Amino acid sequence: MTALVPLAAGHLVSMLVILLPFAAMTALLDWQREIRIGASVAVVAFGVFRLVSRRHPRVLARIRPTQLALWSFAIATAHGAGLMLLPIYLGLCSAGELDLAHHASSILMTQNSVTAVLVSLTHTLSMVTAGGAIALLVYGWLGLKVLSRSWFNLDFVWAISLILIGAIGLLTA
C-alpha cells in the first residue's frame, strides 16, 4: 500500500513533463495543424520504436527500491504515458465524433496549463486506483505464484495502441 504514493508521484511527473510543454504550444494557434501532425508523428514513431525494440533498457532495472518514484517516472516516460493523452489534449479528435463527455474534456484541455495538470492528476488517480486494486486482488486472493505462471507482456498491445492513436491524429489533423 505504501508503494502507491511514490508510484503515483512518478507517473504524474512523467505525464506533466510531456503535457505541459504541449500546453504551452497550444498558444501557437497559427501552427496548430503542424503541431498536431508533429505530435501524431511522434506518437506513431514511438509506437513503432516500442514495437521493434522489444528489449527494455537495463538502466531502468538498476533503480533502487527506495527510489520508487524515480522508477515510476522512468517507466511511465519510457512507455509513453503522456503520449497517449496528447491526441485528446491537442484536439486531434474531431468534436463531431465524440460523445458529450469527451467533447467537454477536449474543450477544457485546449484552454490552459491548469487543465493539463488536472488531466494528469485524474489519470494518475485512476491508474493508481485500478492498479492498486488489481495488485491487492492478485496478492490477497490469487497469490504471487499466479504471476510466475500466467504473466504476459503487454508491450505489443501498448505499441499498437500508440501507433493507432497517432494514425488517428494524423488523419484528423
CA distance linking residue 59 with residue 40, whole number of Å: 28
**Do the Cβ atoms of 115 and 19 come closer than 8 Å?**
no
C-alpha cell at 20: 505541459
Would you state the pLDDT for residue 173? 72
Maximal CA-CA distance, the chain:
55
CA-CA distance, 137 to 126, in Å (whole number)?
A: 16
| Low pLDDT (below 70) residues in the chain | 25-30, 56-61, 84-113, 147-148, 151-153
Per-residue pLDDT at 93: 45
Q: What is the pTM of this model?
A: 0.52
Question: What is the number of domains present in the chain?
Answer: 1
Q: What domain range is 99 assigned to?
A: 4-172
